[in-house]
Structure 1
């Protein structure tokens, strides 16, 4: 079986201009409007209209793997668990499945491995020679409530340990108070601390009250220099969903239209099935184009998603669903 799939190494070489940051434009922020009913109607059409089937679906799922931030963010994480996760990142799909699908020659690996900043060194060593970047959650993850100096020190320590991507969390209270100047200045300071490491700003969308707040926070973070905007920490009661994703994606499109800069998007929290991954990919394709379905512009924040994708790939090859234990994570 031959599938039209682009491997991780090829897509990572796509030229991309990093967001340099822009002055805070409060007039632009004030112009943001979001119609929740319209967003819900549009989001409700995604699953119903998606028609990716058979070989094309398998190709999409293989592409999805290259856009996963393979994640462990548990309170009982250990060096051993992180090392096992990195081993899975090195070989996310069993050799026999890839060979059977005719893609054994492709380098199909996740977009990154995401860990707490205290495990960055362990992950960097475990992934040595693979080219897979390590992403660290910093800035008092998941709540973001710590002195700015402490949060900046966390970023700097993660970068020094070898993290190439930093997932920061914003202070949700700043959004609820409409303190756009304060939010802008904090994200700007975090971006500076990241240096060459890319910064993903986690909005904690389930705690921002309205879609207008989500959209405005997205815009302010992009003005401040964010390389990605991300929905959630995965620890909130409400995490990623298609309605919120639509609000954020449309701000990315507006920002690109106005500035010429392409910002990445990362839904996170609760995305655990291949079907839901396909829905998010369909949304990205329809709203921003196939071009955005690359690791430098789109990521899933997930831990269990890979297991279901691997099961679906084996089903496409054999016609049978296998048990989860045949595709262990850690």
Structure 2
């Protein structure tokens, strides 16, 4: 049975029927509504907490290990990608104890350059290596035919991408064509299949800044998981607002509820706008408090970022020299 078939079986079990428009609408609109005030208060409360006083170095190193170091510009060149990979492999040339990032994230046509530059360090970030993630499906707009989206995905996987970051069709979602969005995610997941039968990991980008309401974000999160996504991701980084703590908390709560119901762990990736270590720490706390510290590993949580690493390295250096100016840390009870 293929991964797509297994995902469909899980969806049918949860939905109580085939994942067509009517069944998906009944399920998604039957979810409890989001208490926006309550959600934002929970996020604000978590944002004032942190981790143990003795764990400053652990927190900074954990953030580094969870970063997808990203370049997604029209001006990207093979040389720029090689420079990105060099930074990923050796974030702080003055301190060889600095951990590597989880992945580099590039456009699909840059995958080959990233793979070549990584060399022997290309591999599973849970093993201390570095993955290659590729954005696909007509990123960032998602405005193309399904055939082009599938070809975009398959080409990146064939070039060596370990992870695919796809964008959902927000227009279809907002107009209530849930079956179409589901089918597109499921088919992109199947396009992640390699020649040996294994699959690249699929991150489903919701583009929360365009979904307008927390209820829509919750529904899109469920839809991405039901259709077979390995991760749900907030944003492309091209639309504001991008990642926010309340939105990420809501997505983590959805992942928690899915795990409680099915036993399956799904990843979450906030992306866009997280630039300071003090803000990243708030996300670590939110993960630990919502789904548990076991989620703080690369196959279950990532930061999509381009500038966050620089601030974390700065705070790490200050910690070493005794001039640390990052967030204070308190014990989580």
Do structure 1's residue 272 and structure 2's residue 270 form an aligned pair?
no
Corresponding residue of 1:64: 63
- SS for the counterpart of 2:274 is coil
- SS for the counterpart of 1:166 is strand
Give the drift of 1:135: 0.3
Q: Is the 8 A contact 2:137 2:153 kept in 1?
A: yes
| Equivalent residue in structure 1 for 2:156, among 155, 158, 164 | 158
Give the drift of 1:108: 1.9
Q: Is the 8 A contact 1:19 1:261 kept in 2?
A: no
Q: Is the 8 A contact 2:51 2:285 kept in 1?
A: no
- SS for the counterpart of 1:178 is coil
Which range moves more in the overlay, 39-48 or 295-304? 39-48
Output one character per residue of 1:274-306: Cα deviation in whole Å (capped at 9) or x when no partner.
011100010000000000000000000001000
- SS for the counterpart of 1:94 is coil
Do structure 1's residue 239 and structure 2's residue 242 form an aligned pair?
yes
Taking structure 1 as the reference length, the TM-score comes to: 0.86
- SS for the counterpart of 1:201 is strand
Corresponding residue of 1:167: 165
Structure 2 gaps, min length 5? 16-23, 124-129, 194-198, 326-333
Q: Distance in 1 between matches of 2:284 and 2:65?
A: 12
- SS for the counterpart of 1:127 is helix
Q: Distance in 1 between matches of 2:5 and 2:254?
A: 15
| Equivalent residue in structure 2 for 1:181, among 158, 179, 197 | 179
RMSD: 1.8
- SS for the counterpart of 2:154 is helix
Give the drift of 1:19: 11
Do structure 1's residue 229 and structure 2's residue 232 form an aligned pair?
yes
Q: Is the 8 A contact 2:66 2:301 kept in 1?
A: yes
Give the drift of 1:47: 2.1
Structure 1 gaps, min length 5? 1-16, 99-103, 323-330
| Equivalent residue in structure 1 for 2:118, among 116, 127, 136 | 127
Q: Distance in 2 between matches of 1:218 and 1:30?
A: 13
- SS for the counterpart of 2:297 is coil
Q: Distance in 1 between matches of 2:284 and 2:6?
A: 27
- SS for the counterpart of 2:74 is coil
- SS for the counterpart of 1:43 is helix
Q: How many residues align?
A: 297
Do structure 1's residue 198 and structure 2's residue 189 form an aligned pair?
no
Closer, same or farther: CA 306–18 of 1 in aligned 2, 3 Å: farther
- The 5 Å alignment of 1:6-155 reads 20-21=6-7, 22-23=10-11, 25=15, 26=24, 27-32=26-31, 33-53=33-53, 55-96=54-95, 104=97, 108-130=99-121, 131=123, 132-155=130-153
Q: Is the 8 A contact 1:19 1:262 kept in 2?
A: no
Q: Distance in 2 between matches of 1:255 and 1:47?
A: 24
Corresponding residue of 1:7: none
Corresponding residue of 1:289: 292
Q: Distance in 1 between matches of 2:286 and 2:139?
A: 28
Closer, same or farther: CA 321–253 of 1 in aligned 2, 3 Å: closer
Corresponding residue of 1:326: none
Corresponding residue of 2:307: 304
Give the drift of 1:167: 0.2
Output one character per residue of 1:198-223: Cα deviation in whole Å (capped at 9) or x when no partner.
10000000000111110111101101
Q: Is the 8 A contact 1:138 1:167 kept in 2?
A: yes
- SS for the counterpart of 1:308 is helix
Q: Is the 8 A contact 1:272 1:304 kept in 2?
A: yes
Closer, same or farther: CA 236–19 of 1 in aligned 2, 3 Å: farther
